Structures are given as C-alpha cells and as structure tokens.
Amino acid sequence: MKIENFLNFLILNMYSKNTVKTYTSVLNRYLYVFNDVKKIKHIISNYFNSPNTAWTHFNIICSYMNWSKDKRIKELKQFKLPRIPKIYRAVFNKEFLLKKTLINEFDSKSLVQKKLLMKFLFETGIRAEELKKIIEINRKTIVIIGKGNKIREIFHCFETTEKLEKFTLTTKTLRAWVKEILGSEFTPHSIRRSHATHLLTHGASPKMVMLQLGHEKIETTFRYLNLSVEDNWKIYSGYI
C-alpha cells in the first residue's frame, strides 16, 4: 500500500487534519491484509455492531482503491453492509440563531466576533475548514477553495461578512465557540445542517442548496434536511 502518497494527495486536496488522521488510522488497520479482499471484508464485518464505523472503514478503503486504480474495488463494492440507523441530529431555525447572536451594548469585541461568526456560518453553510480558504469577497458572493481543492462561488450576507476579522482560529476553538454561543448540543456541522434545513424548508431550489454546500450529489443535500417527526408532521398537515 502507498499510504503516504495517498495521504499527501488528501492534504493537497484540502482535506481537514481530522479527516487525514482518520484515514491514516483506518488504512493502517488493513495494512497487512490489503492483498486479500476476503480478509478486508472480514475485518469490516467485525464492526457490523457499529454500522457507522463499518461504513467509515468501507468508504476509506474504497477511496484508497479508487485513487490507486485498484480493480478489486468492484469486488469490494459487492459487499453488503448493515444499514445505518436514522438518527435525528439537532438543528436550529433562524429565530433561534438571531436570538443567540443578538449583539448587546456591553458585549466585548471578542464576543461580538463570536456571534458574527455564528451568523456567517449559518448564512453561508460553509465547512469549518473552508473559513481559512476564502479567496474573494464580493457584495453578493464569496469565492472559496472547497473540499477536493475545488473552487466554488457561494452567496453570503455582506452586512455580516464585512464586520468579521480575518479567520485564524483552529477547528477546536471554533467548536468551543459554537458550544459557548449556541449550546453544548451543537457543532460547526450542526450549523451547516441548519443552513440546509432552513433553505430547503423555505422553498429554496435543492439544486441551489447543493451548489451552496459544495455537494456533488443531490442525495447528499437531501440527507442534510434534518427534521424531527414533529417538524415533518407540521409540513404534512399544512398541505393535507
């Protein structure tokens, strides 16, 4: 296995440090059995009691095989994995955001920046690691280098963006800020999901939301539509 070369490929394509760390850990687990697809399947099957872990291992191995042009990927993809149980992940609406990010007269400069950053993340839906990869700011759009080193142009609210200072914070610090301002149940990715849910439930075109988030497939965007049973019932009852 050419793990080091593959990891360098991930780094060059702007994968986050945490993602590269996960890939490294998983690939090393299969280092001595990689020549035997049956053994790879056997190790993955050991994680069937934790479907998310099994799928993570499977997707990382497939990603490596695809990169290395390993033809055995066809055989591996025939492997049936357990279904991932649908779990409701906490999201919030715009009203909640505005309440939590309301700037008060006596807020410190640091606190104001934290609140503005929460608004910016909600208004754009960008990934945490993309904060440091904004290469152009216009009145209606910003241009960023996204996942896979791909450049995309997305919408933003200039009134929020122009007040923000240059991003120098780490992912760890950002997570701490999110919990401080919004609540312990939320993460930077929760804001991204909330952005998608807000747009889609207010009539935005799924295609537009897909481009805003930087997804390659519309199915991924719809998985971000994270609604509880109660939320879905309100939508349903409003049409029936």
Residue in 14, 11, 17, 20 with CA at minimum distance from that of residue 146: 14
The answer to whether the beta carbons of residues 40 and 76 sit under 8 Å apart is yes
Residue in 54, 60, 40 with CA at minimum distance from that of residue 82: 54
* 79-84 long-range contacts, CB within 8 A, separation 24+: 79/41, 79/44, 81/44, 81/48, 81/51, 81/54, 81/55, 82/48, 82/51, 82/54, 83/51, 84/51, 84/52, 84/55
Positions annotated as catalytic residues are 127, 147, 189, 192, 215, 224
